[in-house]
Chains A and B, each alone.
Chain A
Amino acid sequence: MDTPSYFPVPPGVGMEDNFLSLDDILLSQERLPVRTECVFPRLGFLEKSSDSQDIQEGTKMELPLWLCKGLYEKKRKVLSVELPKIYKEGWRTVFTADPNVVDLHKMGPYYYGLGSQMLHFDSPENPDIAKTLLQTFIGRFRRTMDSSQNAYNEDTSVLVGRLDFLEKVLFKSGQSGLNGFQGWEKGQAAQLTASSLVLNYRKRKIVDIQS
């Protein structure tokens, strides 16, 4: 039986993110197109395309999600965040027609995660975005399931290649269920192996002795 020695904190998926989740930290680095709604004094050096000392009001630039969330305020407009195109109406229509045709890895890879985070920024389109995210997930579920349950011992890179990050996590949990069962059926579970914790511990001890 394989018991991991460390249980990573899972991503928050919805609007809330998990502070200790590595996946959510990576997600927070995603860049968003923004427009400044006031002057950012003496920060001109951050914006390579102009020589001015300040970042002028109305400048278009890209900022990571974590910074956008920190600077965004409903009452006092510091910046406005634009929707990445994958969440705009044009793409939403594509998703409604057939969610399975889209390569979410290329377009994302944090399609669901980033989409949910976008709901933090006020927009009349938010309800539609939320609806599309849910419908896309449901529409693609069957394919994620079938590929994860049929792909035992096969090259899964093509299948996985088009999945969003979240779908990939699900794909893996589907695969581990399948692999666990097939391994049991073949009698692999009957063979005892040393836990990875023990193996690593031995290695560490050797290193300790050497140093």
Chain B
Amino acid sequence: MSDALSEDGSDINQDDSQEDVMTPAELIDKLEQAWLNEKFSPELLENRSEVVECVMEQLTHMEANLQRVKKGDAKAGFHRMEIDRIRYVLSSYLRSRLQKIEKYFPHVLEREKSLVEGQPSLLSPEEFAFAKEYYANTETYLKAVALKRMPPNLQAVDMLKAVPEPSLDSFVFLRVKERQENILIEPETDEQRDFVVDLEEGSQHLMRYRIVAPLVSSGAVQLI
């Protein structure tokens, strides 16, 4: 059952030939990285539907196998514990994305609208539906409890202005996975000057998310 991934992995990862050879263990690592990055990044990251789908397949496959196992098999217990752990990470990952969608829904939807041809969507189709519904419900609610009682010229609320944007200037803690040279750090005050740092593999840092955002999405650094 360890190579269950290969049958379906190929069509999902067309555009990234490296991932074709991902082992299930690497897949779980990927999920955990996505989970931690999503938990700690101030903005919503690009969805990792391909990872989520592969993990789901692994779990379904494993659970189907466990159905066939005799009662009292010692191995089955080990497998169930592992499944529970993976399931926890999976749902915590999806939940932290939903929380961010709720927090930043107008901006998330605005970004989807302004996607250039070929640019990947941040949201999975399910998340997109959720965001749209959340937007509509919020509007309806505001209208019902307050806006409809306002003078006609004050009945509109610009959600994009009313809901705060994610702050990319937030600081984050990170661990470097692939060495990076000459990362420019901008000064915080007028008295300071900008400077560059090299990020050595395995080193840990505290700095603004804005500087490392591209490295987070490429996987070169891991938020912690």
- Is the A/B pair a real complex? yes
A interface vs B, CB < 8 Å?
7, 9-10, 12, 18-20
> Does residue B71 face the partner (Cβ distance < 8 Å to A)?
no
| Interface footprint category on B | under 10
A-B contact count (CB 8 A): 14
| Cβ-defined contact, B163 with A9, below 8 A | yes
| Cβ-defined contact, A9 with B164, below 8 A | yes
Residue of A nearest to B92 (CB): A1
- A169→B171 CA distance, assembly (Å): 18
| Cβ-defined contact, A7 with B103, below 8 A | yes
| Cβ-defined contact, A20 with B162, below 8 A | yes
With a CB–CB cut-off of 8 A, which chain A residues contact B99?
Answer: 7
CB-CB nearest 5 A-B residue pairs: A19-B162, A18-B164, A20-B162, A7-B103, A9-B164
The B147-166 residues at the A interface (CB cut-off 8 A) are: 157, 161-164
The SS class assigned to the B binding surface is helix
- A206→B99 CA distance, assembly (Å): 28
Residue of B nearest to A17 (CB): B164
With a CB–CB cut-off of 8 A, which chain A residues contact B157?
Answer: 19
B interface vs A, CB < 8 Å?
99, 102-103, 157, 161-164
Residue of A nearest to B102 (CB): A7
With a CB–CB cut-off of 8 A, which chain B residues contact A9?
Answer: 163-164
With a CB–CB cut-off of 8 A, which chain A residues contact B103?
Answer: 7
Interface centre among A7, A10, A20 (most CB of B within 10 A): A20
State how many angstroms separate the Cβ of A2 from the closest Cβ of chain B.
14
- A19→B147 CA distance, assembly (Å): 14
- A10→B162 CA distance, assembly (Å): 12
Chain A to chain B contacts (Cβ below 8 Å), 12 pairs: A7-B99, A7-B102, A7-B103, A9-B163, A9-B164, A10-B164, A18-B164, A19-B157, A19-B161, A19-B162, A20-B162, A20-B163
